[in-house]
Each structure stands twice: as structure tokens, then as C-alpha cells.
């Protein structure tokens, strides 16, 4: 397992300086801001720095439309087009990574309730499968991956736990669509994070790290050692990316949290 960090959490006046700091703090990966991947000039800078960097891209997060499930076809198409562009650019650097996808980032149903044919939620999930199938075909062609992220009951009425997210990924049945398991969301929705991870390990391709405080790991009560042990037992060897607030200056907090997580990995 390898540690990554969102680029926005890292101090530095340039992307190259941020990457140098990540390497100094003990990270192996960087999670890019999708807005910078989509921007031609910002992407050129990142692509150049990553060409010979020991810190590798793990994923991209945010910065793109989040309307994969939406009643307006134009909104769905704009989201698909942005995600496909991120996938193509990801593959320009190296295969096997891509954007984190949140199907619905609020609690309002996006499609009508067609009961008894289908409830709003059932219809949303059917539409999500169709949208992901198109992204899966694109990812298989260009060599990129989409990471599907379940949130929690306070942030979305859709995909609120790992089991539901895994069901969608298994239905799509493509190596280009993997589950994204977020320790913060799991601390709200799962009764046992380690067991939840065991149940979805076959489709998990990426993880987000935040303590139950939503600050950096080590500031709360989340049992990262047990979660890491479950992932290790399943043979998970991909990235674990910091997506969190920070309890203090990044140059102090990030290396301290990295050291704490290395201890958790060793304990498992």
C-alpha cells in the first residue's frame, strides 16, 4: 500500500515544489485536482513534473461536473466528456489511474419517482450503471480507471455505503471502474470498517484517508490499523490518499500523520 495526498493540502509555490515536499514528507503519490488536469496550461506543468518524479499520480478528485446522474442529457454529457478528458490525460502519464466519481453530491433526488415501476433511487442506480458502462469502455480503450465513491447519509442520498457501491461496480464488470473506499464516510455508515473493506476488496481500487474528525489520520478514533490489515490480507497494493482538513501547519502535520500511518500498516 502506498500513501498519496491531494495536491491542495501541500505547501509550495509551484507544482514541482509541492511534489518535492510530498517526497520529503514520505508520500509516494499525489491526488491531482481535476480542474488542473482539465486546464491545458496547468496539465502541461503537471505532466512535465510527473514525467520523471518518484511521486506518482494516484488519482484526480474534484474540479469537474458532478452530474453523471441527472435528468438533463446535456448535463450528463458534459460530465461524461470532462471525465473522459481526465481519463485520457491520466493515461498520457501512466496507465491505471483516473478521476474519482461521485454520482450525486447532495440529498435531492435527481430523477423522478416512477413507483411502482422504479423508485427515484432505483432509477438513479440504473442510470448510473449506464453512464459508468460508457466510461468503462473509454477507460479500457485508453488505459485509465474511474473510481466510484460512496459518500454518507449527510452528503448524498445515493451510494451511502461500500456494499451498494460494490454492487454497482460488479454490475459494470470492467477493470476500468473500481470502488473508492473513504475512511471518513465509512466511519459514519459502516458498523465495522475492516469487515466492510473485506467484503469489497475484490473491486476496491483506491482509498481516501481522513479520521472521524475529518482531519488528518491520527486526530480521532478511526482504527486505521484494522482497516489496513483487512486491505493487506486481500492483497491491496494501491494508493491511500489524504483527503482531509489539517489540524496544523502542513509541514508539521503531514509528515507526522505519515509516520502514524506507517505504524498502523506495520501493526497489521
* Structure confidence by residue, pLDDT tens digits, 70-122: 999 999 999 999 999 999 999 999 999 999 999 887 766 678 888 999 898 89
Burial readout 226-258 (b: 16 or more C-beta within 10 A, e: otherwise): bbbbbbeeeebebbbbbbbeebeebeebbebbb
Decide if pLDDT at 24 tops 70: yes
- The CATH number of whichever domain residue 113 belongs to comes to 3.20.20.150
Residue 243 annotated among the catalytic residues of the structure: yes
Residue 122 has a pLDDT of 92
pLDDT in tens, 141-151: 999 999 999 99
Note if the pTM is more than 0.85.
Answer: yes
Query: Rounded CA gap, 182 and 241, in Å?
Result: 9
Contact between 205 and 179 under an 8 Å Cβ cutoff? The reply is: yes
Q: Is the pLDDT of residue 268 over 80?
A: no
Mean pLDDT of the chain, nearest integer: 95
Of 252, 181, 188, 249, the C-alpha closest to 214 is: 188
Contact 28, 56 (CB under 8 A): yes
Q: What is the pLDDT of residue 113?
A: 87
| Residue 214 pLDDT greater than 90, yes or no | yes
Percent of the chain scored above 90 by pLDDT? 88
The answer to whether the beta carbons of residues 185 and 158 sit under 8 Å apart is no
Q: State yes or no: pLDDT of 5 exceeds 90.
A: yes
**How many distinct structural domains can be found in the chain?**
1
- Looking at residue 107, its pLDDT comes to 62
Task: Copy the grid coordinates of residue 261.
Answer: 500511518
| Residue that has been written with the C-alpha cell 450528463 in this structure | 76
Out of 31, 124, 149, 190, the active site residue is 149
How long a stretch of residues is the chain?
268
Q: What is the mean pLDDT of residues 39-63?
A: 97
Domain containing 65 equals: 2-267
Amino acid at each position: 500500500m502506498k500513501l498519496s495526498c491531494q495536491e491542495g493540502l501541500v505547501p509550495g509555490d509551484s507544482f514541482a515544489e509541492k511534489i518535492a515536499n510530498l517526497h520529503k514528507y514520505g508520500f509516494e503519490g499525489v491526488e491531482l485536482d481535476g480542474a488542473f488536469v482539465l486546464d491545458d496550461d496547468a496539465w502541461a506543468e503537471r505532466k512535465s513534473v510527473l514525467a520523471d518524479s518518484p511521486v506518482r499520480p494516484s488519482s484526480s478528485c474534484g474540479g469537474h461536473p458532478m452530474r453523471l446522474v441527472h435528468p438533463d442529457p446535456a448535463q450528463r454529457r458534459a460530465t461524461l466528456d470532462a471525465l473522459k478528458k481526465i481519463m485520457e490525460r491520466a493515461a498520457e502519464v501512466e496507465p491505471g489511474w483516473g478521476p474519482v466519481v461521485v454520482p450525486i453530491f447532495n440529498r435531492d433526488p435527481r430523477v423522478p419517482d416512477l413507483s411502482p415501476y422504479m423508485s427515484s433511487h432505483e432509477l438513479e442506480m440504473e442510470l448510473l450503471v449506464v453512464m459508468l458502462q460508457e466510461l468503462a469502455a473509454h477507460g479500457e480503450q485508453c488505459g485509465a480507471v474511474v473510481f466510484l465513491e460512496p459518500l454518507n447519509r449527510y452528503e448524498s442520498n445515493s451510494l451511502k455505503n461500500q456494499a451498494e457501491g460494490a454492487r454497482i461496480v460488479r454490475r459494470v464488470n470492467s477493470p476500468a471502474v473500481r470502488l473508492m473506499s473513504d475512511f471518513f464516510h465509512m466511519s459514519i455508515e459502516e458498523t465495522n470498517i475492516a469487515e466492510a473493506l473485506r467484503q469489497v476488496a475484490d473491486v476496491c481500487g483506491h482509498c481516501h484517508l481522513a479520521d472521524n474528525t475529518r482531519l488528518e489520520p491520527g486526530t480521532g478514533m478511526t482504527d486505521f490499523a484494522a482497516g489496513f490489515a483487512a486491505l493487506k490480507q486481500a492483497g491491496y497494493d494501491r494508493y491511500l490518499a489524504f483527503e482531509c482538513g489539517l489540524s496544523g501547519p502542513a509541514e508539521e502535520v503531514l509528515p507526522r500523520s505519515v509516520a502514524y500511518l506507517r505504524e498502523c500498516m506495520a501493526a497489521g
